[in-house]
Chains A and B, each alone.
Chain A
Amino acid sequence: MKFIHAGDVHLGNPFSGLDQQLPYELKNKYKMPQLRLLQP
């Protein structure tokens, strides 16, 4: 038996507004890293 314990994923957190400071290239790649974690 094995399972995963994953707390506080916080999908949709925009890094407390930090994403507005990031350059386009970074924003495009990392704007929502939580979403990226879930992408296949």
Chain B
Amino acid sequence: MIDQAINSAVDFILLPGDLYNSTQTSPIIQDVVSTQFERLNTAKIAVYLSFGNHDFAADTQPHLPWPDNVHVFNQDVHTYQLSTQDDKLVAITGFSYQTQRQTKGLAGDFPIRDRQVDYHIGMYHGTVGTEGDAYAPFNVSDMLAKRYDYWALGHIHVRQTLNQVPFIGYSGNMQGLNRKETGEKGYYLVEENNQQLIPHFVPVAPILWDTLCIDEMSSEDELIQYLATFPREKMTLLSVIIQANHLPESFKQRLYSHIILDKLRQEELDRIWVVKLIYNPKDVLSFTDNIDQQYWQEAFNEIDHHFRIDDYLSNQVPTDIREFFLDGVGMDSIKIRMKQIIEERRQNHED
């Protein structure tokens, strides 16, 4: 992105929150950021930086000094102004999180569009919601009322448009971080056209996440062959879900014990790394109508709708482990394994 910013001679870069994954950053990351921001400084490209719920108050931690081109928003809504290469006057308004949760919506604190500038842009890290929600809740109508020309949103990792003109939307993240964040990821290159600011998506993620569902499969060799011929343009972290209703028992046992997963990884498939191999037969829940099956069904429902891992984690569990099991990936892996165990017991019971 930095290379392309310099090559395209953009006027500025907006980073609306969560540049860093956490408030405390490593010296290596700081060095990379500092070096790249300095490159932008040399190229006379300004950076407007706000912190979100992941990197809240990051500038209060020890870090390398920001180059002169970097403008950091603090907790109060503030407006910077700049002149572009083609002499357009631009106002940029934003704020930073000071705590992990920002339950007060701040859209109302943004000033009405400055009529003295050519373009007024809002930077906002948060989600649509109501007062009291965790991430600076806002309404699109509140933003529209400010009459800005563009709202650069952050927080949601899925690229999405909340309003077309003026644009209010999320660029999404630049690299999928887990198996639920599938598809191309990147940033928006925004250009003016007839006095409108139009975003164009630029994909840059070097790694894609994807999920492959396979309906019919009868052997390990067939599975390996299938994946070997699966076309990939980029390195892909792949979750494979086998949905076949009938698999040889030995195949199932080798699936559950991760033997087949290890084998797939050893195959060194071109540009594919199998992250997960899940057996989830389509008809697993289509039990016959008797009292035993109702109990099995209830067990599955309990996992799907009521199970909360945090009910079982003691206070002594380290934060990083707690966070892993509370987020989508960790939670899913537990639920899938619980269902596998119940399914195995159900089948043993029927046998």
Give the B-binding residues of A (Cβ under 8 A). Answer: 1-13, 15-18, 21-23, 26, 30, 33-40
Interface centre among A6, A16, A17, A30 (most CB of B within 10 A): A6
Q: Could you say which residues of chain A place their CB within 8 Å of the CB of B33?
A: 11, 38
Q: Could you say which residues of chain B place their CB within 8 Å of the CB of A22?
A: 273
25 A-B interface contacts by CB (under 8 A) = A1-B85, A1-B192, A3-B190, A4-B10, A4-B13, A5-B188, A7-B125, A7-B152, A7-B154, A7-B155, A7-B187, A8-B18, A8-B155, A9-B20, A10-B175, A10-B177, A12-B25, A16-B178, A16-B329, A21-B275, A26-B235, A34-B175, A36-B206, A38-B32, A40-B3
Cα separation A15 to B12 with both chains bound (whole Å): 29
Instruction: Fill in one digit per residue for B249-270: 1 if any A CB lies within 8 Å of its CB, else 0.
Output: 0000000000000000100000
Q: Is the CB of A2 within 8 A of B189?
A: yes
Q: Could you say which residues of chain B place their CB within 8 Å of the CB of A8?
A: 17-18, 52, 154-157, 172-174
4 pairs of A and B residues whose beta carbons are closest in the complex: A7-B154, A6-B187, A8-B173, A13-B21
Cα separation A40 to B6 with both chains bound (whole Å): 11
Q: Could you say which residues of chain A place their CB within 8 Å of the CB of B85?
A: 1
Q: Is the CB of A7 within 8 A of B18?
A: yes
Q: Could you say which residues of chain B place their CB within 8 Å of the CB of A12?
A: 20-22, 25-26, 29
Other than the given A6-B188, A11-B20, A30-B206, 20 more pairs (CB < 8 A) read A1-B119, A1-B191, A2-B189, A3-B12, A3-B189, A4-B10, A4-B14, A4-B189, A6-B15, A7-B125, A8-B155, A8-B173, A11-B19, A12-B21, A13-B21, A30-B235, A37-B1, A37-B206, A38-B33, A39-B32
The listed residue (B25, B88, B154, B265) touching A1 by CB distance below 8 A is B88
Q: Could you say which residues of chain B place their CB within 8 Å of the CB of A38?
A: 1-2, 32-33, 36
Q: Is the CB of B327 within 8 A of A16?
A: yes
CB contacts under 8 Å to A, within B178-199, are 178, 187-192, 199
Q: Is the CB of A13 within 8 A of B177?
A: yes
Q: Could you say which residues of chain A place their CB within 8 Å of the CB of B84?
A: 1
Q: Could you say which residues of chain B place their CB within 8 Å of the CB of A7?
A: 15-18, 125, 152-155, 170-173, 187
Which residue from chain B places its CB closest to the CB of A29 in the assembled complex? B235
Which residue from chain A places its CB closest to the CB of B275 in the assembled complex? A18
Known A1-B84, A6-B187: A40·B199 in contact at CB below 8 Å: no
Q: Tell me, yes or no, whether B134 is within 8 Å of chain A by CB.
A: no
Cα separation A30 to B275 with both chains bound (whole Å): 14
Q: Is the CB of A23 within 8 A of B174?
A: no
Q: Could you say which residues of chain A place their CB within 8 Å of the CB of B174?
A: 6, 8-9, 34, 37
Q: Could you say which residues of chain B place their CB within 8 Å of the CB of A3?
A: 10-14, 189-190
Which residue from chain B places its CB closest to the CB of A26 in the assembled complex? B273
Which residue from chain B places its CB closest to the CB of A7 in the assembled complex? B154
The listed residue (B18, B90, B235) touching A9 by CB distance below 8 A is B18
Cα separation A6 to B154 with both chains bound (whole Å): 8
